[in-house]
Structure 1
Amino acid sequence: MRLNHLSAALLSAGLLAAASPSHAANSLVFCSEGSPAGFDNAQYTASTDNDAGQAIYNRLTEFEQGGTAVIPALATRWDISEDGLTYTFHLREGVKFHSNKTFTPSRDFNADDVLFTYNRMLDKDMPFRKAYPTEFPYFVGMSLDKNIASVEKTGPLTVVFKLRSVDAAFVQNIAMNFAAILSAEYAEQLLKAGKASDINQQPIGTGPFVFQRYQKDSQIRYKANPQYWAPEQVKIDQLIFSINTDASVRLQKLKKGECQVTINPRPADLEGLKKDPTLQVIEKPGYNLGYISYNIRHKPFDQLEVRQAMDMAVNKQAIIKAVYQESGQLAVNAMPPSQWSYDDTIKDAPYDPEKAKALLAKAGVKPGTEITLWAMPVQRPYNPNAKLMAEMLQADWAKIGFNVKIVSYEWGEYLKRTKNGEHDISLIGWTGDNGDPDNWLGTLYGCDAIGSNNYSMWCDPAYDALIKKAKTLNDREQRSVLYKQAQQLLKAQVPITPIAHSTVNQPLSVKVQGFQVSPFGRNQFTNVSVKD
């Protein structure tokens, strides 16, 4: 057996040691940009939804705050068999679930909760899954539904996962938000009461904050968990999400002290934010990608020549200058340069509208052909102004003969409809979740990700074979060889046009201490305090 020693090292260093509660009598208001669709993180991929659930739950493994290293959480340690197919997780003792008006746990967290959490995603015939049918896009998109052969308990605090094939990123994958551990006891109570869907609207977890109430388009309120298993990490009594879709409103609230942390400032506002003595702006290189996705199931985008024409007609430099301003870097590949296995030999096709028109003529596309371009309604680090970008693309593609209609929806509806493939072309993007190349190349462009995060609906058997083979290898160099081959193939087939990687700028009050910018774009409030 290969023992994971990280947990022991962290415990000995005091990083995970329990301490006496140190809840300061204060509140923190986070100006968020949108209303979550719900709090059952397994259902969602958007950061708005993940942020809303981040405070409530724990996972077996988690990422260190502000970093990419995996650390113990509800599992204190884990063993991996020599063949890489069996993972044995040793669970933390004495962890308490939250209570609410209708539920008070009768026991501590144990292996049954892990089994419920994963079997709900694995087994479509599970009674709870039948009572509350839903989809699990990350779980399916990463092929975990196919690769996890079984999840069994060998004791009240020991769980064994058996895989069908080696997954080099398995421990990282289950550190992601979708793998939040739910209460089997709470689920059983909801099932008996005929209220299974309440697991999404009245969440119960083991996390640092307890859900109190949610008013759509207004606010979410949480309170500190007085029984949290790492009490030294909880330093505020009240956590409030103030929901504001308008970036200018969020900015004004931050300046007035009505919120202490905000999200996604407009590039034009950064200079003023940095000069304000009451504020601080944390700047980090972006682990993200903003891109155009062509739905190859819609004509004429099923033709490679058409996608090539669209790609070479995009004036990327003009878009980056206008949309990203000083915070954007040209993207030519399907993931950011900071991701290991990135192929830096890949180059863009030259900007060439005349050649693009020739390709369209060869493909039989008539001038004046109408197409839809879907523009995100929200700001993201990877796309701070989708409306402006869409207008610029509309003009670019008009030059080669397309009549482009810009479409948008509320964010949750936008994601739902694009995942269903209703768009011709969509503006979308991604911030990496776990530091592994598969989180880009598999999660966004693999065949199994159609219906979840593969917005181009592109499925290439040769590409899929490469990325799936790479996941079964533990040697990073061998994996990189396969991933680079996959990147070359994807670039040649043009299911997407990469636009930009952006620098992340995180504005917050100078009174906030301990906040760290996540490379994965998550907003986490453990170890965060607000000084008087």
Structure 2
Amino acid sequence: MIKRFIGVILLASVFFGGCGQKREAEILKIRLSADVTTLDPALIVDVSGGIVASKLYNSLIRYDNQMQIVPDLAEDWSISPDGKTYTFRLKPGVRFTNNREVNAEDIKYSFRRILDPKTRSPRQWVLDRVVGADEFMEGKASDVSGLKVLDRYTIQIEIREPFAPFIGLLAMPAAYVVPKEEVQRWGEDFGEHPMGTGPFVLSRWRRDEEILLFANQDYFEGPPQMKGIAYRIIPQDLTATAEFISGGLDIMGLPSGEFSRFMSDPNFRPYILNQAGLNVYYLGLNCQKYPFDRIRVRQALNYAIDKELILKTLLKDRGVVAYGPIPPVLAGSNQNISPYPYDPEKAKELLRQEGLKNGLSMKIYQRTSQEALSITQAIQAQLKEVGIETEIIQLDWSAFKEAINKGEVDAFYLAWVADYPDAENFLFPLFHSRNIGPGGNRARFSNKEIDALLEKAISTIDDKTRIALYQEVEAEIHKAAPWVFLWHLKEHVVYQPWVKGFKLYPIYNADKATTVALTKNP
């Protein structure tokens, strides 16, 4: 997800909880730094929306905390020898929270809805490889021929050509299963009145304040071990930190400004978990807008920013400098590439070659966040040294996304967090020209050769060959520089002693939170 934006400072794929000095019995409190835009799976594009939605819905399969695919609504499945036909058999007796049993028609309806142009889903790419999807999306067919209900509990999905990561796509929020009658009942407001099969149900949503979920006592895998979750909208890091220290939050992703304090405190250190992050942070450049449509200008920006210095000072060395988009922990990452070094003289020379010896002016957009502002201000100061004057524009999350999706911006500070643990997720959604805009390619980058390489890679069954193609694509993207490649951050989370059963999940929407429990205050 953005496949995917990162809309929260809290760490993706973890379950947060909390208690105030007077704790609500068995209600976990989770910090979101910005409100969720929607809880309609067809429209979710950000991490915060995916994290909350994962508690309300289920998909055919999901990832566990070891990045292995495990059953969710599906009891089992098979894949044809040619890699093009997937057959899923559903668990019988699973019910939506309106008490209707889930059947194979619900899977077909939910997937067809993603592809329906009337839905306006920015995640059509999740399912557009299904046979008949193109004809359906173009209005040439009334149904998607590759989605077949074989019986009440069996659904078959046929894709046009083999695509090894396809089953991983089915764990994304876009593949969550929804009840047709509730979507029809609420229409465009379904995202405000979500209903699924998940371990929690939405009780209350106060915009910019709180999202309250209650446990689904009839959840098919057994009820959660607490009564509910309260997602509290707290934009300021200092406020969130104060809430955690006072007991108002049970688990918190460590803000950079508080990292050293918590790591050095013996009261907190035993309760800090960390893992390598499946993410990439970047400064996106609008490749359809002058002068960022010039490769030497984009390369100059990469040379002009001292990523190592920012990572060491502002981010407390909590990650590694990016040489491209793919996290180094994933197969397909091309570790023969070197990051763009900090070389302001090289940056000036490239600008001179483009006729910009006097520099240029640009606007950098970011969502409202003190942590993000400290980073963009550091970037601003470094760009000034090579003659690039910048103005920083801060917008709330919804306005920020809208401005980027419309192509209004010069540049933007953002991150992408893995929807599924495959290098393809850091390539095709972000750089193929068919995904320009809300589909994921927000830099509006278009390169026919890279498109062709990507299309060849995703249709290759042999893992060794496919990984080699991913590495070739990453090398080409590195040279084309549609982004300033910044860093991959490690995730650090601190939790209170009374939180039990808490685990980190590399995939942000993998945790259903059914094993987390609250004990009495120590």
CA displacement at 1:120 relative to structure 2? 0.7
1:357 match: 348
1:416-450: CA deviations, max 9, x gaps? 22122211111111121211111001121122221
Choose the corresponding residue for 1:433, options 411, 419, 425.
419
Moved more, 434-443 or 352-361: 352-361
Secondary structure, in 3 states, of the residue corresponding to 1:29? strand
Residues in 2 aligned to 1:187 and 1:499: alpha-carbon distance in whole angstroms: 40
Matched, 1:373 2:364: yes
Unaligned runs of 5+ in 1: 1-23, 100-104, 380-384
Residues in 2 aligned to 1:339 and 1:504: alpha-carbon distance in whole angstroms: 16
Secondary structure, in 3 states, of the residue corresponding to 1:408? strand
Percent identity over the alignment? 26
Choose the corresponding residue for 2:192, options 201, 209, 220.
201
CA 368–490 in structure 1, closer or farther in 2 if over 3 Å, else same: closer
Residues in 1 aligned to 2:397 and 2:66: alpha-carbon distance in whole angstroms: 28
CA displacement at 1:494 relative to structure 2? 0.9
Matched, 1:502 2:489: yes
Secondary structure, in 3 states, of the residue corresponding to 2:461? coil
1:173 match: 169
1:256 match: 246
CA displacement at 1:354 relative to structure 2? 1.9
Residues in 2 aligned to 1:368 and 1:494: alpha-carbon distance in whole angstroms: 19
Letter paired with 2:33:
E
Relative contact order higher in (CA < 8 Å, ≥ 6 apart): 2
Q: Is this contact kept in 2: 1:442–1:467, CA < 8 A?
A: yes
Residues in 1 aligned to 2:326 and 2:387: alpha-carbon distance in whole angstroms: 30
Q: Is this contact kept in 2: 1:291–1:497, CA < 8 A?
A: yes
Choose the corresponding residue for 2:449, options 420, 439, 462.
462
Alignment of 1:476-515 (within 5 A): 476-515=463-502
1:529 match: 517
Q: Is this contact kept in 1: 2:89–2:153, CA < 8 A?
A: yes
Choose the corresponding residue for 2:388, options 402, 405, 409.
402
CA displacement at 1:221 relative to structure 2? 0.9
Residues in 1 aligned to 2:341 and 2:32: alpha-carbon distance in whole angstroms: 39
1:140 match: 125
Unaligned runs of 5+ in 2: 1-23, 135-143
TM-score (norm 2): 0.88
Secondary structure, in 3 states, of the residue corresponding to 1:355? helix
Residues in 2 aligned to 1:142 and 1:267: alpha-carbon distance in whole angstroms: 40
Residues in 1 aligned to 2:167 and 2:375: alpha-carbon distance in whole angstroms: 37
CA displacement at 1:98 relative to structure 2? 1.0
Q: Is this contact kept in 2: 1:368–1:402, CA < 8 A?
A: yes
Alignment of 1:88-487 (within 5 A): 88-99=87-98, 105=99, 107-124=100-117, 129=118, 133-137=119-123, 139-140=124-125, 143-144=128-129, 150-188=146-184, 190=185, 195-231=186-222, 234-272=224-262, 275=265, 277=267, 280-365=271-356, 367=358, 369-378=360-369, 385-451=371-437, 452-487=439-474
Residues in 2 aligned to 1:360 and 1:298: alpha-carbon distance in whole angstroms: 16
Residues in 2 aligned to 1:435 and 1:272: alpha-carbon distance in whole angstroms: 30
Secondary structure, in 3 states, of the residue corresponding to 1:372? strand
Secondary structure, in 3 states, of the residue corresponding to 1:113? helix
1:20 match: none
Letter paired with 1:55:
K
Secondary structure, in 3 states, of the residue corresponding to 2:214? strand
Residues in 2 aligned to 1:529 and 1:254: alpha-carbon distance in whole angstroms: 17
Q: Is this contact kept in 1: 2:86–2:158, CA < 8 A?
A: yes
Secondary structure, in 3 states, of the residue corresponding to 2:315? helix
1:301-343: CA deviations, max 9, x gaps? 1111111111111111221122211313222121111010111
Residues in 2 aligned to 1:274 and 1:41: alpha-carbon distance in whole angstroms: 40
Letter paired with 1:433:
D
Q: Is this contact kept in 1: 2:111–2:127, CA < 8 A?
A: no
Letter paired with 1:271:
R
TM-score (norm 1): 0.86
CA displacement at 1:368 relative to structure 2? 5.2
CA displacement at 1:376 relative to structure 2? 3.1
Letter paired with 1:46:
D
Residues in 2 aligned to 1:393 and 1:31: alpha-carbon distance in whole angstroms: 27
Q: Is this contact kept in 2: 1:218–1:242, CA < 8 A?
A: yes
Letter paired with 1:396:
Q
1:6 match: none
Residues in 1 aligned to 2:274 and 2:126: alpha-carbon distance in whole angstroms: 31
Secondary structure, in 3 states, of the residue corresponding to 1:350? coil
CA 432–142 in structure 1, closer or farther in 2 if over 3 Å, else same: farther
CA 393–251 in structure 1, closer or farther in 2 if over 3 Å, else same: same
Choose the corresponding residue for 1:517, options 504, 507, 516.
504
Secondary structure, in 3 states, of the residue corresponding to 1:203? coil
Q: Number of paired residues? A: 483
CA 343–432 in structure 1, closer or farther in 2 if over 3 Å, else same: same
Q: Is this contact kept in 1: 2:284–2:413, CA < 8 A?
A: yes
Residues in 1 aligned to 2:102 and 2:266: alpha-carbon distance in whole angstroms: 46
Q: Is this contact kept in 2: 1:372–1:405, CA < 8 A?
A: yes
Q: Is this contact kept in 1: 2:253–2:491, CA < 8 A?
A: no
Residues in 2 aligned to 1:182 and 1:416: alpha-carbon distance in whole angstroms: 26
Secondary structure, in 3 states, of the residue corresponding to 1:325? coil
Q: Is this contact kept in 2: 1:141–1:449, CA < 8 A?
A: no
Q: Is this contact kept in 2: 1:142–1:443, CA < 8 A?
A: no
Letter paired with 1:208:
P
1:479-511: CA deviations, max 9, x gaps? 011111111111111111211111100111111
Residues in 2 aligned to 1:286 and 1:198: alpha-carbon distance in whole angstroms: 34
1:5 match: none
Q: Is this contact kept in 1: 2:359–2:386, CA < 8 A?
A: no
Letter paired with 1:467:
L
Residues in 1 aligned to 2:197 and 2:77: alpha-carbon distance in whole angstroms: 20
Secondary structure, in 3 states, of the residue corresponding to 2:87? strand
2:10 match: none
Letter paired with 1:32:
L
CA displacement at 1:36 relative to structure 2? 0.4
